[in-house]
Protein backbone atom coordinates (compact mmCIF):
# COMPACT_ATOMS: atom_id res chain seq x y z
CA UNK A 1 0.00 0.00 0.00
CA UNK A 2 1.29 3.46 -0.88
CA UNK A 3 1.78 5.94 1.95
CA UNK A 4 3.28 9.42 2.13
CA UNK A 5 6.66 9.96 3.81
CA UNK A 6 6.50 10.33 7.59
CA UNK A 7 8.15 13.76 7.33
CA UNK A 8 5.64 15.05 4.76
CA UNK A 9 4.55 18.62 5.45
CA UNK A 10 0.93 19.70 5.99
CA UNK A 11 -0.06 23.25 6.84
CA UNK A 12 -0.94 26.75 5.72
CA UNK A 13 0.47 29.88 4.09
CA UNK A 14 -0.28 33.56 4.72
CA UNK A 15 1.21 37.01 4.20
CA UNK A 16 1.96 39.60 6.87
CA UNK A 17 -0.29 42.33 5.48
CA UNK A 18 -3.26 39.96 5.16
CA UNK A 19 -3.00 38.74 8.74
CA UNK A 20 -1.10 40.91 11.21
CA UNK A 21 -2.92 44.22 11.38
CA UNK A 22 -1.26 46.47 14.02
CA UNK A 23 -0.23 48.67 11.10
CA UNK A 24 1.17 51.44 13.33
CA UNK A 25 2.20 49.44 16.40
CA UNK A 26 5.47 47.98 17.63
CA UNK A 27 7.73 50.45 15.84
CA UNK A 28 6.53 49.40 12.39
CA UNK A 29 7.13 51.85 9.56
CA UNK A 30 4.69 52.77 6.80
CA UNK A 31 4.27 49.97 4.25
CA UNK A 32 3.08 50.36 0.67
CA UNK A 33 -0.08 48.53 1.80
CA UNK A 34 -0.76 51.18 4.45
CA UNK A 35 -1.20 53.80 1.72
CA UNK A 36 -2.38 51.78 -1.28
CA UNK A 37 -6.12 52.33 -1.93
CA UNK A 38 -8.42 49.31 -1.98
CA UNK A 39 -11.42 48.80 -4.31
CA UNK A 40 -14.73 50.33 -3.29
CA UNK A 41 -16.62 48.09 -0.88
CA UNK A 42 -13.46 46.31 0.25
CA UNK A 43 -11.71 46.65 3.62
CA UNK A 44 -8.30 48.19 4.36
CA UNK A 45 -5.22 46.47 5.81
CA UNK A 46 -5.03 48.22 9.17
CA UNK A 47 -6.48 45.37 11.25
CA UNK A 48 -6.75 42.38 8.84
CA UNK A 49 -7.45 39.53 11.31
CA UNK A 50 -5.36 41.04 14.13
CA UNK A 51 -2.80 38.23 14.07
CA UNK A 52 -0.36 40.56 15.82
CA UNK A 53 -2.35 40.20 19.04
CA UNK A 54 -3.98 36.79 18.43
CA UNK A 55 -1.17 34.61 17.07
CA UNK A 56 -1.15 32.27 20.08
CA UNK A 57 -4.84 31.51 19.62
CA UNK A 58 -4.38 30.91 15.91
CA UNK A 59 -1.35 28.65 16.37
CA UNK A 60 -3.40 26.57 18.79
CA UNK A 61 -6.04 26.20 16.06
CA UNK A 62 -3.35 25.20 13.55
CA UNK A 63 -2.08 22.55 15.93
CA UNK A 64 -5.63 21.23 16.33
CA UNK A 65 -5.89 21.01 12.53
CA UNK A 66 -2.80 18.83 12.41
CA UNK A 67 -0.42 21.41 10.94
CA UNK A 68 3.29 20.61 11.07
CA UNK A 69 4.25 23.53 8.78
CA UNK A 70 3.40 27.23 8.56
CA UNK A 71 4.65 29.65 5.94
CA UNK A 72 4.34 33.33 6.82
CA UNK A 73 5.88 36.48 5.43
CA UNK A 74 7.78 39.10 7.36
CA UNK A 75 6.73 42.73 7.04
CA UNK A 76 9.93 44.44 5.90
CA UNK A 77 8.67 47.69 7.46
CA UNK A 78 8.33 45.94 10.84
CA UNK A 79 12.02 44.94 10.78
CA UNK A 80 13.55 48.01 9.07
CA UNK A 81 10.80 50.66 9.20
CA UNK A 82 11.89 52.82 6.26
CA UNK A 83 13.93 50.16 4.48
CA UNK A 84 17.18 52.08 4.88
CA UNK A 85 17.30 52.91 8.61
CA UNK A 86 18.06 51.01 11.81
CA UNK A 87 16.65 47.62 12.82
CA UNK A 88 13.45 47.82 14.86
CA UNK A 89 14.13 45.51 17.81
CA UNK A 90 10.48 45.44 18.83
CA UNK A 91 9.58 44.01 15.44
CA UNK A 92 12.34 41.42 15.68
CA UNK A 93 11.04 40.42 19.11
CA UNK A 94 7.50 39.91 17.80
CA UNK A 95 8.66 37.55 15.06
CA UNK A 96 10.89 35.73 17.54
CA UNK A 97 7.83 35.16 19.72
CA UNK A 98 5.81 33.93 16.74
CA UNK A 99 8.57 31.52 15.68
CA UNK A 100 9.04 30.20 19.20
CA UNK A 101 5.29 29.64 19.61
CA UNK A 102 5.19 27.68 16.33
CA UNK A 103 8.13 25.50 17.33
CA UNK A 104 6.58 24.84 20.75
CA UNK A 105 3.48 23.58 18.88
CA UNK A 106 5.72 21.30 16.72
CA UNK A 107 4.99 23.39 13.64
CA UNK A 108 7.94 24.01 11.30
CA UNK A 109 8.18 27.71 10.36
CA UNK A 110 8.99 28.99 6.87
CA UNK A 111 9.80 32.64 6.17
CA UNK A 112 8.89 34.52 3.01
CA UNK A 113 10.97 37.70 2.91
CA UNK A 114 8.74 39.73 0.56
CA UNK A 115 5.08 39.08 -0.21
CA UNK A 116 4.47 42.07 -2.54
CA UNK A 117 5.05 44.57 0.30
CA UNK A 118 7.92 46.88 1.25
CA UNK A 119 8.50 50.10 3.22
CA UNK A 120 6.68 52.92 1.46
CA UNK A 121 9.80 55.10 1.51
CA UNK A 122 11.47 52.69 -0.94
CA UNK A 123 8.56 53.12 -3.33
CA UNK A 124 8.35 56.88 -2.99
CA UNK A 125 12.08 57.59 -3.26
CA UNK A 126 13.39 54.73 -5.42
CA UNK A 127 10.41 53.33 -7.38
CA UNK A 128 10.68 49.94 -5.68
CA UNK A 129 12.64 47.21 -7.42
CA UNK A 130 13.22 49.44 -10.44
CA UNK A 131 16.25 50.56 -8.43
CA UNK A 132 19.36 48.48 -7.79
CA UNK A 133 19.65 50.49 -4.57
CA UNK A 134 16.49 48.69 -3.38
CA UNK A 135 18.04 45.36 -4.44
CA UNK A 136 20.97 46.13 -2.12
CA UNK A 137 18.66 47.25 0.69
CA UNK A 138 16.69 44.02 0.27
CA UNK A 139 19.90 42.04 0.67
CA UNK A 140 20.65 43.89 3.90
CA UNK A 141 17.11 43.17 5.16
CA UNK A 142 17.40 39.48 4.19
CA UNK A 143 20.69 39.17 6.07
CA UNK A 144 19.20 40.78 9.18
CA UNK A 145 16.34 38.26 9.13
CA UNK A 146 18.67 35.32 8.60
CA UNK A 147 20.97 36.45 11.40
CA UNK A 148 18.07 36.94 13.82
CA UNK A 149 15.87 33.94 12.94
CA UNK A 150 18.12 31.45 11.12
CA UNK A 151 19.01 29.49 14.25
CA UNK A 152 15.41 28.20 14.32
CA UNK A 153 14.02 28.76 10.81
CA UNK A 154 15.38 26.26 8.28
CA UNK A 155 13.04 26.93 5.34
CA UNK A 156 13.28 30.26 3.49
CA UNK A 157 11.80 31.98 0.46
CA UNK A 158 12.65 35.30 -1.14
CA UNK A 159 9.60 36.47 -3.12
CA UNK A 160 6.08 35.16 -3.13
CA UNK A 161 5.04 34.04 -6.63
CA UNK A 162 8.16 35.56 -8.13
CA UNK A 163 7.11 35.10 -11.75
CA UNK A 164 4.35 37.68 -11.24
CA UNK A 165 7.07 40.36 -11.21
CA UNK A 166 7.38 39.83 -14.98
CA UNK A 167 3.60 40.10 -15.39
CA UNK A 168 2.60 43.31 -13.54
CA UNK A 169 4.63 46.22 -12.14
CA UNK A 170 2.42 46.46 -9.05
CA UNK A 171 4.02 43.36 -7.49
CA UNK A 172 7.49 44.91 -7.42
CA UNK A 173 6.17 48.36 -6.48
CA UNK A 174 7.95 49.83 -9.50
CA UNK A 175 4.95 51.33 -11.27
CA UNK A 176 6.57 54.54 -12.52
CA UNK A 177 7.96 53.93 -16.01
CA UNK A 178 11.10 56.03 -16.57
CA UNK A 179 10.99 58.60 -19.33
CA UNK A 180 12.18 57.18 -22.64
CA UNK A 181 11.39 53.57 -21.69
CA UNK A 182 8.49 51.46 -22.87
CA UNK A 183 6.38 49.40 -20.48
CA UNK A 184 7.90 46.05 -21.59
CA UNK A 185 11.49 47.36 -21.32
CA UNK A 186 10.84 48.56 -17.79
CA UNK A 187 8.81 45.52 -16.74
CA UNK A 188 11.44 42.96 -17.73
CA UNK A 189 14.29 45.03 -16.28
CA UNK A 190 12.43 45.11 -12.97
CA UNK A 191 11.86 41.33 -13.19
CA UNK A 192 15.62 40.92 -13.65
CA UNK A 193 16.35 43.14 -10.66
CA UNK A 194 14.00 41.01 -8.56
CA UNK A 195 15.77 37.87 -9.76
CA UNK A 196 19.12 39.32 -8.72
CA UNK A 197 17.65 40.22 -5.32
CA UNK A 198 16.43 36.63 -4.99
CA UNK A 199 19.88 35.26 -5.84
CA UNK A 200 21.53 37.60 -3.33
CA UNK A 201 19.21 36.14 -0.67
CA UNK A 202 20.14 32.58 -1.63
CA UNK A 203 23.83 33.51 -1.45
CA UNK A 204 23.31 35.09 1.97
CA UNK A 205 21.54 31.99 3.33
CA UNK A 206 24.34 29.73 2.11
CA UNK A 207 26.79 31.90 4.07
CA UNK A 208 24.77 32.61 7.21
CA UNK A 209 22.60 29.50 7.71
CA UNK A 210 24.26 26.69 5.74
CA UNK A 211 21.98 24.01 7.20
CA UNK A 212 18.83 25.77 5.94
CA UNK A 213 16.93 25.14 2.70
CA UNK A 214 15.92 27.79 0.17
CA UNK A 215 12.83 27.35 -1.98
CA UNK A 216 12.19 29.23 -5.19
CA UNK A 217 8.51 30.05 -5.65
CA UNK A 218 6.25 30.57 -8.65
CA UNK A 219 2.51 30.62 -9.21
CA UNK A 220 1.56 28.11 -11.88
CA UNK A 221 -1.58 28.13 -13.98
CA UNK A 222 -1.99 25.23 -16.37
CA UNK A 223 -3.09 26.23 -19.89
CA UNK A 224 -5.27 24.13 -22.20
CA UNK A 225 -5.87 24.95 -25.89
CA UNK A 226 -9.43 25.85 -26.89
CA UNK A 227 -8.98 23.94 -30.15
CA UNK A 228 -6.74 21.21 -31.51
CA UNK A 229 -5.02 23.51 -34.00
CA UNK A 230 -1.22 23.28 -33.93
CA UNK A 231 -0.97 27.07 -33.52
CA UNK A 232 -3.26 26.94 -30.47
CA UNK A 233 -1.10 24.16 -28.97
CA UNK A 234 2.05 26.18 -29.61
CA UNK A 235 0.57 29.33 -28.11
CA UNK A 236 -0.38 27.45 -24.92
CA UNK A 237 3.11 25.99 -24.59
CA UNK A 238 4.73 29.41 -25.09
CA UNK A 239 2.33 31.03 -22.63
CA UNK A 240 3.03 28.38 -19.99
CA UNK A 241 6.79 28.81 -20.37
CA UNK A 242 6.75 32.61 -20.31
CA UNK A 243 4.15 33.22 -17.62
CA UNK A 244 4.72 30.29 -15.28
CA UNK A 245 8.13 28.68 -15.66
CA UNK A 246 11.00 30.95 -16.68
CA UNK A 247 11.64 31.93 -13.06
CA UNK A 248 11.61 28.29 -11.93
CA UNK A 249 14.14 27.52 -14.66
CA UNK A 250 16.58 30.11 -13.30
CA UNK A 251 16.01 28.95 -9.72
CA UNK A 252 16.74 25.34 -10.71
CA UNK A 253 19.43 25.71 -13.39
CA UNK A 254 21.18 28.99 -12.63
CA UNK A 255 20.65 30.68 -16.00
CA UNK A 256 17.90 32.26 -18.07
CA UNK A 257 16.08 29.71 -20.29
CA UNK A 258 16.75 30.09 -24.00
CA UNK A 259 13.05 30.66 -24.83
CA UNK A 260 12.88 33.65 -22.44
CA UNK A 261 16.19 35.11 -23.62
CA UNK A 262 15.20 34.78 -27.28
CA UNK A 263 11.75 36.29 -26.65
CA UNK A 264 13.24 39.39 -25.00
CA UNK A 265 16.20 39.85 -27.34
CA UNK A 266 14.07 39.59 -30.46
CA UNK A 267 11.99 42.52 -29.22
CA UNK A 268 14.83 44.63 -27.80
CA UNK A 269 13.58 44.11 -24.25
CA UNK A 270 16.49 42.15 -22.77
CA UNK A 271 17.45 43.65 -19.39
CA UNK A 272 20.72 45.35 -18.60
CA UNK A 273 23.02 43.08 -16.60
CA UNK A 274 25.37 44.66 -14.09
CA UNK A 275 28.81 43.21 -13.40
CA UNK A 276 28.48 40.01 -11.39
CA UNK A 277 24.85 39.29 -12.31
CA UNK A 278 25.61 36.13 -14.31
CA UNK A 279 27.56 34.69 -11.37
CA UNK A 280 24.73 35.52 -8.96
CA UNK A 281 22.22 33.65 -11.14
CA UNK A 282 24.16 30.45 -10.38
CA UNK A 283 22.91 30.46 -6.76
CA UNK A 284 20.17 27.89 -7.26
CA UNK A 285 17.46 26.63 -4.90
CA UNK A 286 17.03 23.39 -2.96
CA UNK A 287 13.45 22.81 -4.15
CA UNK A 288 10.79 24.42 -6.33
CA UNK A 289 7.78 25.70 -4.41
CA UNK A 290 4.63 26.82 -6.17
CA UNK A 291 1.07 27.97 -5.72
CA UNK A 292 -1.67 26.27 -7.69
CA UNK A 293 -5.34 27.25 -7.69
CA UNK A 294 -6.75 26.77 -11.19
CA UNK A 295 -6.20 26.19 -14.90
CA UNK A 296 -7.20 28.31 -17.92
CA UNK A 297 -8.23 27.71 -21.51
CA UNK A 298 -6.58 29.85 -24.20
CA UNK A 299 -7.76 30.58 -27.71
CA UNK A 300 -5.30 30.64 -30.59
CA UNK A 301 -2.90 33.59 -30.47
CA UNK A 302 0.58 34.95 -31.08
CA UNK A 303 2.95 37.20 -29.17
CA UNK A 304 3.46 40.62 -30.76
CA UNK A 305 6.37 43.05 -30.43
CA UNK A 306 4.65 45.71 -28.31
CA UNK A 307 2.54 44.00 -25.62
CA UNK A 308 3.89 42.23 -22.50
CA UNK A 309 3.30 38.48 -22.71
CA UNK A 310 1.03 38.31 -19.63
CA UNK A 311 -1.37 40.84 -21.17
CA UNK A 312 -1.62 38.84 -24.39
CA UNK A 313 -2.32 35.61 -22.49
CA UNK A 314 -5.04 37.35 -20.50
CA UNK A 315 -6.69 38.55 -23.72
CA UNK A 316 -6.96 34.95 -24.96
CA UNK A 317 -8.37 33.38 -21.78
CA UNK A 318 -11.85 31.87 -22.08
CA UNK A 319 -14.02 29.69 -19.77
CA UNK A 320 -13.56 25.92 -19.66
CA UNK A 321 -16.89 24.19 -20.31
CA UNK A 322 -15.67 21.04 -18.55
CA UNK A 323 -14.93 22.68 -15.20
CA UNK A 324 -16.86 24.44 -12.46
CA UNK A 325 -15.59 27.86 -11.37
CA UNK A 326 -15.78 29.90 -8.19
CA UNK A 327 -17.71 33.17 -8.04
CA UNK A 328 -14.46 34.90 -9.03
CA UNK A 329 -14.05 32.77 -12.16
CA UNK A 330 -11.28 30.50 -10.86
CA UNK A 331 -11.87 27.09 -12.39
CA UNK A 332 -11.43 24.10 -10.08
CA UNK A 333 -9.09 21.61 -11.72
CA UNK A 334 -7.44 19.05 -9.44
CA UNK A 335 -6.09 17.07 -12.40
CA UNK A 336 -4.24 20.20 -13.47
CA UNK A 337 -2.24 20.01 -10.23
CA UNK A 338 -1.03 16.53 -11.20
CA UNK A 339 -0.09 17.79 -14.66
CA UNK A 340 1.94 20.65 -13.17
CA UNK A 341 3.71 18.36 -10.70
CA UNK A 342 4.67 16.01 -13.53
CA UNK A 343 5.93 18.86 -15.66
CA UNK A 344 8.15 20.23 -12.89
CA UNK A 345 9.45 16.73 -12.23
CA UNK A 346 10.30 16.17 -15.90
CA UNK A 347 12.00 19.54 -16.43
CA UNK A 348 13.97 20.04 -13.22
CA UNK A 349 15.85 17.59 -11.05
CA UNK A 350 14.51 19.06 -7.80
CA UNK A 351 11.74 18.21 -5.34
CA UNK A 352 8.55 20.26 -5.64
CA UNK A 353 6.56 21.76 -2.77
CA UNK A 354 2.91 22.84 -2.99
CA UNK A 355 2.90 26.06 -0.94
CA UNK A 356 -0.55 27.44 -1.76
CA UNK A 357 -3.76 25.68 -2.71
CA UNK A 358 -7.33 26.60 -1.89
CA UNK A 359 -10.59 28.12 -3.06
CA UNK A 360 -12.35 31.35 -2.17
CA UNK A 361 -16.06 31.35 -1.30
CA UNK A 362 -18.54 33.90 0.03
CA UNK A 363 -19.76 32.68 3.45
CA UNK A 364 -21.98 33.74 6.35
CA UNK A 365 -22.80 31.97 9.59
CA UNK A 366 -26.10 30.05 9.37
CA UNK A 367 -28.87 30.09 11.98
CA UNK A 368 -26.85 27.63 14.10
CA UNK A 369 -23.71 29.79 13.93
CA UNK A 370 -21.99 27.32 11.58
CA UNK A 371 -20.39 27.18 8.12
CA UNK A 372 -21.09 23.93 6.27
CA UNK A 373 -18.45 24.21 3.56
CA UNK A 374 -18.68 20.84 1.83
CA UNK A 375 -17.44 22.53 -1.38
CA UNK A 376 -14.14 23.32 0.33
CA UNK A 377 -13.77 19.77 1.60
CA UNK A 378 -14.37 18.48 -1.93
CA UNK A 379 -11.83 20.92 -3.40
CA UNK A 380 -9.03 19.92 -1.02
CA UNK A 381 -9.89 16.21 -1.10
CA UNK A 382 -9.64 16.20 -4.89
CA UNK A 383 -6.36 18.11 -4.95
CA UNK A 384 -4.73 15.97 -2.26
CA UNK A 385 -5.81 12.82 -4.12
CA UNK A 386 -4.30 14.09 -7.38
CA UNK A 387 -1.12 15.06 -5.53
CA UNK A 388 -0.91 11.49 -4.21
CA UNK A 389 -1.53 10.15 -7.72
CA UNK A 390 1.37 12.24 -9.02
CA UNK A 391 3.62 10.92 -6.26
CA UNK A 392 2.59 7.25 -6.23
CA UNK A 393 1.71 6.63 -9.88
CA UNK A 394 4.02 9.11 -11.62
CA UNK A 395 7.02 9.13 -9.24
CA UNK A 396 7.00 12.85 -8.43
CA UNK A 397 9.03 13.92 -5.39
CA UNK A 398 6.85 16.36 -3.40
CA UNK A 399 7.70 17.72 0.05
CA UNK A 400 4.31 18.90 1.27
CA UNK A 401 0.78 20.20 0.79
CA UNK A 402 0.26 23.69 2.19
CA UNK A 403 -3.07 25.49 1.96
CA UNK A 404 -3.66 29.19 1.42
CA UNK A 405 -5.26 31.28 4.16
CA UNK A 406 -6.17 28.40 6.52
CA UNK A 407 -7.83 30.89 8.86
CA UNK A 408 -9.94 33.44 6.95
CA UNK A 409 -7.97 36.50 5.83
CA UNK A 410 -8.71 39.36 3.44
CA UNK A 411 -7.97 38.40 -0.17
CA UNK A 412 -5.08 39.94 -2.11
CA UNK A 413 -7.37 42.85 -3.05
CA UNK A 414 -8.47 43.15 0.61
CA UNK A 415 -11.86 41.56 0.10
CA UNK A 416 -12.86 39.86 3.34
CA UNK A 417 -15.89 38.30 1.59
CA UNK A 418 -13.60 36.01 -0.44
CA UNK A 419 -12.86 33.42 2.25
CA UNK A 420 -10.38 30.55 1.98
CA UNK A 421 -10.08 29.28 5.53
CA UNK A 422 -11.09 26.26 7.57
CA UNK A 423 -11.75 28.77 10.37
CA UNK A 424 -14.26 31.61 9.99
CA UNK A 425 -13.17 35.03 11.28
CA UNK A 426 -16.13 37.11 12.42
CA UNK A 427 -15.67 40.34 10.49
CA UNK A 428 -16.87 41.79 7.20
CA UNK A 429 -15.41 44.25 4.72
CA UNK A 430 -17.23 47.11 6.45
CA UNK A 431 -17.34 45.97 10.10
CA UNK A 432 -14.63 44.52 12.34
CA UNK A 433 -17.18 42.89 14.70
CA UNK A 434 -15.43 40.77 17.34
CA UNK A 435 -12.95 38.89 15.08
CA UNK A 436 -13.98 35.67 16.82
CA UNK A 437 -12.53 32.45 15.34
CA UNK A 438 -15.20 29.85 14.49
CA UNK A 439 -14.16 26.46 13.05
CA UNK A 440 -16.07 25.49 9.89
CA UNK A 441 -17.16 21.98 8.93
CA UNK A 442 -13.94 21.67 6.92
CA UNK A 443 -11.93 22.20 10.13
CA UNK A 444 -12.72 18.69 11.37
CA UNK A 445 -12.15 17.21 7.93
CA UNK A 446 -8.74 18.81 7.42
CA UNK A 447 -7.69 17.81 10.94
CA UNK A 448 -8.47 14.18 10.12
CA UNK A 449 -6.79 14.41 6.69
CA UNK A 450 -3.59 16.02 7.98
CA UNK A 451 -3.23 13.97 11.18
CA UNK A 452 -3.64 10.75 9.16
CA UNK A 453 -0.85 11.91 6.80
CA UNK A 454 -3.32 12.08 3.94
CA UNK A 455 -4.79 8.63 4.46
CA UNK A 456 -8.29 9.66 5.61
CA UNK A 457 -9.81 11.92 2.99
127-166 pLDDT per residue, tens: 999 999 999 999 999 999 999 999 999 999 999 999 999 9
pLDDT at residue 25 in the model: 98
Q: How many CB atoms lie within 10 A of CB 423?
A: 24
- Judge whether 13 and 115 are in contact, CB under 8 Å: no
Mean pLDDT, range 297-318, rounded to an integer: 98
Catalytic site residue from 356, 364, 367, 455: 356
Name the percent of the chain in helix, strand, coil, to the closest 5. Answer: 40, 15, 45
Q: Distance between CA atoms of 203 and 206, rounded to whole angstroms? A: 5
Mean pLDDT, range 378-399, rounded to an integer: 98
- Judge whether 222 and 339 are in contact, CB under 8 Å: yes
Mean pLDDT, range 250-268, rounded to an integer: 98
Mean pLDDT, range 40-68, rounded to an integer: 97
pTM of the full predicted structure?
Answer: 0.97
Residues 6+ apart with CB under 8 A from 179: none
The CATH number for 16-452, chosen from 3.40.50.700, 1.10.3470.10, 3.20.20.80, 2.30.110.10, is 3.20.20.80
pLDDT at residue 119 in the model: 98
* Average model confidence (pLDDT) across the chain: 97
Q: Is 125 a catalytic residue?
A: no
- Judge whether 386 and 338 are in contact, CB under 8 Å: yes
pLDDT at residue 338 in the model: 98
To the nearest 10 degrees (0 to 180), the angle between helices 374-392 and 441-451 is 20
Residue 1 has pLDDT above 80, yes or no: no
pLDDT at residue 240 in the model: 98
Mean pLDDT, range 103-114, rounded to an integer: 98
Mean pLDDT, range 322-341, rounded to an integer: 97
Mean pLDDT, range 312-326, rounded to an integer: 97
pLDDT at residue 176 in the model: 98
Q: Distance between CA atoms of 337 and 290, rounded to whole angstroms? A: 10
Q: Distance between CA atoms of 217 and 416, rounded to whole angstroms? A: 25
pLDDT at residue 302 in the model: 97
Q: How confident is the model at residue 16 (pLDDT cuts 50, 70, 90)?
A: very high
Q: How confident is the model at residue 374 (pLDDT cuts 50, 70, 90)?
A: very high
pLDDT at residue 274 in the model: 98
Share of the chain above pLDDT 90, in %: 99
Residues 6+ apart with CB under 8 A from 277: 192, 196
Mean pLDDT, range 181-186, rounded to an integer: 98
Amino acid sequence: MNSLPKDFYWGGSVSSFQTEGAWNEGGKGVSIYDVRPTPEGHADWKVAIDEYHRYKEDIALMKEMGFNFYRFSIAWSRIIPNGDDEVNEEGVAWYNNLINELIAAHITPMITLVHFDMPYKLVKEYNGFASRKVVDLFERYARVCMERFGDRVKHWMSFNEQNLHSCRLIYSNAEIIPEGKTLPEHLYQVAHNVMIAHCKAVKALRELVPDAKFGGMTTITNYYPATTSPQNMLFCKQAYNLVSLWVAHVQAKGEYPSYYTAYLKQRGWFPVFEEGDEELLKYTCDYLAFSYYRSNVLTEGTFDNTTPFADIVEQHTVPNSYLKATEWGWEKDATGLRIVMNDLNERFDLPCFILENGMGHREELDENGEINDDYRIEYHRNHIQEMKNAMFQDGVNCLGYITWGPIDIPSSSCQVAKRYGFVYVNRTDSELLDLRRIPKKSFKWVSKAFKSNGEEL
